[in-house]
Every structure is written in structure tokens, then in C-alpha cells.
Chains A and B, each alone.
Chain A
Amino acid sequence: MTPPARGAAPAPRTGGRGVALVLALAAAVQLVAALPALRAALLAARGAHAAAQAPEGAPGPWQPALLAARDLPPLLRDVPADARVLLVGGSAVPVAWDAHVAPRPLRVLLRVDEGLLARAAREPGLQGPLAAWRGHLVRRELALTPARLARELPRHDVVLAFQLDPAELAPAAAQAGVTLHPLATHGSATLLAVRGP
């Protein structure tokens, strides 16, 4: 068929009201389907906004990401751009740490709860992503061990203890021959300066 030219008015035609009626009914059904979805989307957005303001109450795996977005930038505001940052995290959940700490060089060590990972791996469909995440942890040597922490502490200027009691870092600091001086705390994160012996 030859389509009408762009902008030209379609030829008037009698009949075809049935088609328009069926389409109108479909549109009405869509409205019924869309209203709960729109309400849910608005509530989700409001929930995400509220969670961003107060992440402690946020459920699920997004909580560490929200906590990091809220707590890391204020602590880093006065840290020089060339300061070497060691972030020690209390949970092995992927977070955009680099984006928050940039432009400072960053090293991350995370406490890995093998039991939690094993339980998560039993969830249907999670094996693949977890295997990829575990591979990343191994390749990057991100798992927190006393020896690794003691080795990394003297190489950095400041430490960010995230979702972790800073006192837990003391034995490794003593082993490494450095002292950690708390500078500031914001929510779930504490900033500590690393001083040599």
C-alpha cells in the first residue's frame, strides 16, 4: 500500500468503530493495570529517598551502598586529594567505594562471611552472580585477613572503618608498628589517621 504523506489527514472512512472500541477497552484495562504500578513506583521512589536520608532502617543488600553514599563524602571532605586511603569494610557487599573516595588512591579490604555467602548461594539464580563476585574478591585480594591488614596499614595515610568497630583494627596496627588516630565519625564510618612508629 502507499502510505499517506507525513502530516496529511487520513481519508475519512465509515465503520471501524468496533476496532476503536476494542482499543479503548484495552486502554481502560491498561489504566487499571498502570495505577497500582504507578503508585508502587512513587512509593518506591519515596522509600529510596527516605532510605538515602536514613539508611540504617533500609532493608536488604542496598543498605551498605546507601550508608556509603551518605557517610563517606562528609568524612573525606578534608582529606587531601593525594592521600592514600585504606577502606576496611564490615560486610562483603559490592559498593561503589571508588566513586565516593575518588580522586584519592584506594585500597579496600572486606570482612567476608563465608557462611552468609554459602547461604546466599543456595538461593535460586544467585549462584552465577555470587561466583562472579567471589572471583572478584579473590582476583583483587579484597578479603580482610589479619596479615593482609597488617601489610596494608603502613602503606596508607588514612583508614576508613566502614560498618566496622575501629577497635578491631588495633591488633593489626600493633603488628604493623603503626598507630591509628580517630579523626571523625559519620554514621557508619570512622576516619582514622595512620601514624608511623
Chain B
Amino acid sequence: MSLALVPLVLATQGLAGWLVLRGLAPDLARRWTAAVPRALLLGPAALALQMLALEAAGRPLSLAWVLGPWWAAAGLLAWRARTRGAQALAPRGPEVRGPAHLAALALACVLGGLALGTGLLQPLVAGDPVTNAALVGRVVATHGRLDAAALQALQAPAFAAYPPLVAFNEALLFRAAGESWARAALPFFALAQLALLLLLVEACFERLRPARALPLALALLLAPTLATGGASGYFDERFAACVLLLGLTLRELDERPDAGRAALAAAAALGCALTKPQGLVPAVLAALLLALRLGRGRLPARAALPALALLAAGVAAWPLLAGARGVHTPPDLVPHWPGVHEALARTGAALDCAARVALPPAPGAFAAWGLAWPLLLALSAAALARRATRAAAALPLACAALHLLAYAGLAACTQLDVDWLLATGLPRWLLHLLPWLLLAGATALEDPPE
């Protein structure tokens, strides 16, 4: 194996995502501005689920078994399109909505390219990216399966029960790269960063006039944390992108309450749950919102129930398989209930710390976020104040509040030192919450109804 095979793995991740998107929302698959970020997020999730299924069936997690079916499906699709005529893949609707949109897309691509370039410069050698994924990925790449004995025998500290999306996709990259495995991982994260930036542009331009959408997009893309992300090997850009995709898809569900969009929302939530343990929060939020729509008659049962089933099965698959294979969480990371008094104190500390990290008076907040957070909070407040936008802004804001509260609760139930946890985790938690604030704040800039 050699580094030359790495682009094939990355291409297959994108191809798988595009095929899934084509099945769920063909209209989005025909517009590259919508298809590229969705494919980059859905593909690795689809591959991770496929590898879970192969592992459960006792099949080897080899490149041929994992990548082959997607290329076969693409070939079949291309053959069918050729025999039935090319109109099936003809673009529909505007791709780029004028020079302002083009400028924002170009900036997103430049920043994504920067992440790719800096990622290619650096090997992946230490830290959470290694502990939470790369070591497991290396075991899977070496043994061709989720070898519990090999995981148990690891001498370096590893969180083997961590959600497997990144580890499984890295396993494919490591298998392709062979000895050069440490050089193969970071482009995967740069592509997730590109997906996040493209979705941020989409969220700005989807409903706003270009004169407002462009500066809002620039204010977000140029937030230092976002502009320089994607090259560290951390999973948070992918996670935030999945949260934003979930929010965008839930918004689309109001206009198109069909099975494809509902399944797409479930897939985005599943992407969160398979990427980080905190992904359970958006997954539960998505399940609640889908069930709420079903209960109110805003989503037909034939659309909601398969999506809910997909979400439940996907979320349960990894804990069940990990439990069956004897893959465990390290003892110091097992959640525990510290008692009411301590839990309340930790929750309060987390919320207080969140406010201090997000807002400019805090040292370092401007260097990390610039004006992004104050701007989004002001816009969200304005959206809540306007009667015309109150309802549209309330839902994402409620999701943001529940998301933050759930994180504070998780911080309360960990055995880790809470100060250390907040100091290292909170800046990245804010990235997870940003999509909800963007969706709420952008409504303040929408034109009032005629």
C-alpha cells in the first residue's frame, strides 16, 4: 500500500456521500454548492455504518470490501443514466447566486485549501486525535477487523469505545497509506472543514439578500477559530458541520416534509452521534423534533417513522457492537453521578465558563472568535424581538439552549477535573453551538413578508 491510494479512499468517501444524497434528496445532489458539503459529511458516516455492518457480519474491513460496492453502485448508476439519457443528472435551479455568493464560496474554498495544505505539512502523532481514533484506526487497519484483544493490549492510552466514524475512516486511510499512516489522516479533517465553511455560506445566502448575506458570511468565515480550523486532527469541525446540516435540513422540512428530507435530517444527526460522544445531544434533539412534527401532523408517518428508525438503529449500532466485542470505555472516562450539590456546582461553572469564553470581555475571546459570537447573539436577540421572525428564531435558539444545558450536565457527570475539562473543551463546545445561533440570528436579517 502507498500514499497514492489515499486519494482513492477520500474520493470514495465523497462518492458514497453523493450516492446517499442522491437517494435521499436528488434536487440537492444536482447542485454542487449543496452536494459537496453534504457528500463530505454523509460519505464518512455511510462508510462507518457499512463497516459496522461488515464487522457484525464477520466480513473483513478491507479496502475492497468497503470501497468496492460504492464504485460498483456508481458504475451502475452511470450506465443507467447513459441508457436512459443524461437528463436525469441535469442541473436544476441556480448554482451560484451572483458575485457576492461566488466571493463567499471562493473564500470558503481558499480557507479549506489552506486547511488541506497545513494538514499535509503535519503528521498526526499525539493528543486526543490519536487517543480517541488513530490508535483504534491503526488496529482496524492492521487486523482488518475490530480486534478487541488487540485493543485491550494497546500500551498507549486509547479511548477504544469512542464513536467510530473517524476511527473507521482513518482505518481505511491507514490501510491505504501503509507505513506512511501518520501523513494520511489530516486531509480527512480538512475536507470536513471545507464542508463546514460551505454550509456556513449556504446558511447565509439561502434566505438573505446578497448585501446582507455576504458580510454575515465574511464575519463568520473570518472568525479566527473557523478560518484556521481543520488541520489539527480534532473532530469538532466535522461535528459542527453535521449540526449545521441538521439545522438546515430541519428548516427545509417545513417546506418539503417528505421521507427524503426526514431521512437526511436523521443522517445528519447520526453523523453527530457517530463522530463524538456529545453527538447524542443533537441526535436526541433531532428525534424529538421529528416526533414533534409527526405528532402535530406536519410530517407524515411514512416519512417520520423510517427516519426515526434509521436514527435509533444507527445510534444503537456502535454501543451494541462495542459491547458485544468487549470494547470498553477507560475507567476514568466512565460517567458518574457526583451528588446533587457537586453536580449543580459543576453545571453552574460550565455555564459561567461558556459565557466568559464566548464574549469579548474575556481574555482570548476576541482572538478566538472576533465578533462572531456578539454578532450572532445580537442578531438572535433582534430576531426574538421582531414578531415576524420570533417563531422562526425560537426553535434554533431552544435547540442551542438545550444543547448547552446538556453539555453542562455532561460536564457535571464526569470524573475529570471540571476546570481542565472546561478550559480544553469549552472553546470547541462553542463551535458545536454556533450553527444553532447562526440559523436563529440569520432570521433577523430576512426581509419581512410582503
Contact = CB atoms under 8 A, between A and B. Distances in A.
Interface string B395-413: 0000000000000000000
A2 B448 CA distance: 9
Interface in B211-244: 211-212, 214-216, 218-219, 222-225, 227-228, 231
User: How big is the B interface, by class?
Assistant: 35 or more
Nearest to B450: A11
Nearest to B445: A19
Nearest to A67: B125
Interface residues of A, number: 70
Contact of A103 (B125, B142, B209, B231): B142
A33 B118 contact: no
A34 B223 contact: yes
B203 interface: no
B352 interface: no
B219 A27 contact: yes
A106 B155 contact: yes
A7 B96 CA distance: 10
A174 interface: no
A162 B423 CA distance: 32
B297 interface: no
Contacts of A132: 157, 330, 332, 416
B231 A65 contact: no
A169 to B, nearest CB: 18
A98 B154 contact: yes
Contacts of A49: 121-122
Given A23-B215, A42-B118, A95-B126, A33 B420 contact: no
Contacts of A133: 157
A49 B183 CA distance: 11
A148 interface: no
Nearest to A17: B211
Nearest to B252: A6
Secondary structure of the A side of the interface?
A: helix
A125 interface: yes
Contacts of A2: 449
B122 A98 contact: no
A170 interface: no
Given A33-B371, A98-B154, A99-B138, A41 B126 contact: no
Interface string A116-160: 000000001111110111011001101000000000000000000
Contacts of A32: 370
B121 A48 contact: yes
A94 B216 contact: no
Contacts of A102: 138-139, 142
A125 B367 contact: no
Contacts of B330: 132, 136
A1 B255 contact: no
A125 B122 contact: no
Interface string B429-450: 0000000000000000111111
15 contacts: A4-B207, A20-B215, A23-B219, A23-B445, A30-B223, A30-B370, A34-B223, A37-B224, A49-B121, A62-B125, A66-B123, A69-B123, A96-B126, A128-B421, A132-B330
Interface of A: 1-7, 10-11, 13, 16-17, 19-20, 23-24, 26-27, 29-34, 36-38, 40-42, 45-46, 48-49, 52, 61-62, 65-66, 68-69, 73, 77, 87, 94-99, 102-103, 105-108, 124-129, 131-133, 135-136, 139-140, 142
